[in-house]
Structure 1
Amino acid sequence: MAIKVIVDTDTGVDDAMGCALALRSPELDVVAFTSVFGNVSVELTTENTAYLMEMFGRPEIPLARGAGRALVGSPNYSPFVHGDDGVGNAGFEKAKVVKPVRQSAAELTVELARKHPGEITFIALGPLTNLALALAIDPELPKFLPRVVWMGGAAFVPGNVTAVAEADAWHDPEGAQMVLQQAGWRVDMVGLDVTDDTLLDEADLTRLQAGSPQSRYIAAMMPFYMDFYSAKLGRYACAAHSALTVAIVADPAIVTAQEAYPVQVELSGRLTRGMTVVDRRRNNSNGGQPEWKDTPLTNIPTDVDRLRFREMFLSRIEK
């Protein structure tokens, strides 16, 4: 039976890849998309998600617009990474059929979790603001929503927005902290440890350009994104952050190594705000238990089968 998922997304380029993979994965049953600010404004991420749903022939899935800003502070966007429109300045049309439902993203999340208790996995491809707001609406939400898989954070590697903070944690540290401190659900933090070097290159782009209309749609937004990454990588390629996160839910065997640690998010440091702080200490006088014994454990993939992921993504999108 397919896993029911809510895909919460700040649809930029890699997020579009992840949403597309979710729709093309028979292991997953997307029961809703929810949009959030992040790479660009929530108005744009909502529109980008709606157009993607139409491109992939899934207008019947509910789409709920989410938060336009973090719990604390003003939004900061990344047009230099994803383009002014969030999808590589590809010049796509607006969605003609898909419109957001009346509920907010947080309201729809609570509604669906209670409608399908214990059945839904929440895949978060952006800041965790919507899920934090859902918790504020329904503090018992973790009883009904068993698993959160978040594309965010950096456990043992540098950040990508600051020296220590990954973008989606940095966009809303308070929201991330609220979600990570809930003991009632399992949280998987698919961070830069595995996403930053899970790459798609020029040959992969060429393969997508020769595929289906949906494949060519994904390919059209990638050059702008790859130009940004090329300056960092020294070769023409880009990270597939969100697509890897979705792939891990669809095919758990992609994860080849993982650890569980207490994680908290730094909220006030002048240089470290948004850092996902991982406590790797063990108290040997207490049976080797973590020092932060009152902090829930977060599952952190530390290695993945990149070739398995790459072929899974390309073969499913190009058809």
Structure 2
Amino acid sequence: MTSHKVIFDTDPGVDDALALYYLIRHPQIELLGVTTVFGNAPVAVTTRNARFLLEAWGHDAPVHAGAAGPLTPGMPGEDFPTHIHGENGLGDHPIDMAPSEDPDTAAQFLIDQIRAHPGQIRILAVGRMTNLARALQIAPEIAGLVRDVTLMGGAFRVPGNITPAAEANIWGDPLAADIVFGASWPVVAVPLDLTTRTFMDRAALDDLGRRGGPGMQLVTDLSQGYVRFYQAAGYDGMLVHDATAAVFLTDPDLFTLTSGEVRVLSEGIALGLTLMNPEDRKGPLGAWEGRPRQRATLDGQPQAILDRIAQVCTA
């Protein structure tokens, strides 16, 4: 049985919680650690949330706090999405643990683990890409030592979800995202093109809670505010952006990949726009010249992905 050594870079976040539960429940995944970043909440809160979840599920993976803000200069002040993830980042589910004002060790943890396990580390990043970009700035050689990077982010052929141009994770630090896409490690982006089609309805979520025991019931409970957010938009359930990216690690056959050089706009009204030069395009590359060809899951099998999440989280 293939084992995947995974580092989870995250900003918990309700849908992050489902992705984390998938990772710790999957028999082929060895979770080496969790690195946290600002995004769905301040980094002190996302760090606390990661520790709370791991403790609740009896998992001893280390948690390393990371970036509190973006690398991109001139970014507007962060307006944390409390209307989606609640004031505490986990749907205002009761948490008997204070936010964690930890030193910033995420980038160094990434570097140390990559050097300790050359060619084996798989990074799953579902928040701003700041920790990954900072690790590359400190130790550029790690790009050649990583097995691959899977990220939840981008909107290539569909509108964004924070502006018409941009998906939230990329928009939150577009310069960092451009650095990550431009490094020589293999990147697969799992963008809104697919994740806006992986919709778990309320009945399915409640069923997972009943069948999955206390661990999955916790995910169901803290997701109720997230579901209410989608209800206000006319949906009865929730999108599972981050868990969709987690499934790619173990079941890539459920995804359809497109490849090309990627740039991310870091200024102007299209801040955070992800632009891929398709592999079959003819003509000069311009600002895409010299960039590595990366991949994105612009299509896939949404129901099969949801079924896989259910299978793993209730096993």
With structure 1 as the length reference, what TM-score do the two structures score? 0.91
Checking the alignment, whether the CA contact within 8 Å between 2:263 and 2:274 is kept in structure 1 is yes
Which letter maps to 1:21?
Y
User: Which residue is equivalent to 1:313?
Assistant: 309
Pairwise CA distance, 1:101:
8.3
Checking the alignment, whether the CA contact within 8 Å between 1:66 and 1:104 is kept in structure 2 is yes
Are 1:91 and 2:59 an aligned pair? no
Secondary structure at the residue paired with 1:274?
A: coil
Checking the alignment, whether the CA contact within 8 Å between 2:259 and 2:278 is kept in structure 1 is no
User: Which residue is equivalent to 2:190?
Assistant: 190
1:278-317 equivalences under 5 Å are 278-280=276-278, 282=280, 284=282, 292-317=288-313
Pairwise CA distance, 1:203:
1.1
Are 1:258 and 2:254 an aligned pair? no
Distance 1:83 1:65, change over 3 A: same
User: Which residue is equivalent to 1:236?
Assistant: 236
Are 1:80 and 2:79 an aligned pair? no
Are 1:247 and 2:250 an aligned pair? no
User: Which residue is equivalent to 1:275?
Assistant: 273
Pairwise CA distance, 1:205:
2.0
5+ residue gaps, structure 2, are: none
Q: Percentage identity across aligned positions?
A: 32
Checking the alignment, whether the CA contact within 8 Å between 1:261 and 1:290 is kept in structure 2 is no
Checking the alignment, whether the CA contact within 8 Å between 2:166 and 2:274 is kept in structure 1 is yes
Measure the CA separation in 2 of the matches of 1:149 and 1:173: 17
1:61-80 equivalences under 5 Å are 61-72=61-72, 73=75, 74-80=77-83
User: Which residue is equivalent to 2:54?
Assistant: 53
Question: More displaced, 37-46 or 101-110?
Answer: 101-110
User: Which residue is equivalent to 1:16?
Assistant: 17
Pairwise CA distance, 1:102:
6.6
User: Which residue is equivalent to 2:178?
Assistant: 177
Checking the alignment, whether the CA contact within 8 Å between 1:22 and 1:246 is kept in structure 2 is yes
Measure the CA separation in 1 of the matches of 2:281 and 2:208: 50
1:3-42 equivalences under 5 Å are 3-42=4-43
Write the deviation string for residues 179-207 of structure 1: whole angstroms up to 9, x where unpaired. Answer: 1111x210001000000110111111221
Measure the CA separation in 2 of the matches of 1:10 and 1:65: 10
Measure the CA separation in 2 of the matches of 1:15 and 1:26: 19
Measure the CA separation in 1 of the matches of 2:313 and 2:279: 42
Distance 1:292 1:206, change over 3 A: same
Distance 1:92 1:294, change over 3 A: same
Secondary structure at the residue paired with 1:210?
A: helix
Pairwise CA distance, 1:261:
1.6
Pairwise CA distance, 1:284:
4.1
Distance 1:103 1:169, change over 3 A: closer
Which letter maps to 1:214?
G
Checking the alignment, whether the CA contact within 8 Å between 2:129 and 2:180 is kept in structure 1 is yes
Measure the CA separation in 1 of the matches of 2:189 and 2:239: 17
Secondary structure at the residue paired with 2:135?
A: helix
Write the deviation string for residues 144-167 of structure 1: whole angstroms up to 9, x where unpaired. Answer: 113110000111100000001000
With structure 2 as the length reference, what TM-score do the two structures score? 0.92
What's the C-alpha RMSD, in Å, of the aligned pairs? 2.2
Checking the alignment, whether the CA contact within 8 Å between 1:14 and 1:243 is kept in structure 2 is yes
User: Which residue is equivalent to 1:199?
Assistant: 199
Distance 1:283 1:243, change over 3 A: closer
Which letter maps to 1:274?
G
Checking the alignment, whether the CA contact within 8 Å between 1:215 and 1:318 is kept in structure 2 is yes
Measure the CA separation in 2 of the matches of 1:101 and 1:43: 7
Distance 1:44 1:293, change over 3 A: same
Secondary structure at the residue paired with 1:149?
A: strand
Secondary structure at the residue paired with 1:140?
A: helix
Measure the CA separation in 2 of the matches of 1:4 and 1:101: 25
Measure the CA separation in 1 of the matches of 2:149 and 2:272: 19
Write the deviation string for residues 122-144 of structure 1: whole angstroms up to 9, x where unpaired. Answer: 10010000001101110111011
Number of residue-to-residue matches in the alignment: 310
Measure the CA separation in 2 of the matches of 1:296 and 1:81: 35
Distance 1:284 1:316, change over 3 A: closer
Are 1:111 and 2:115 an aligned pair? no
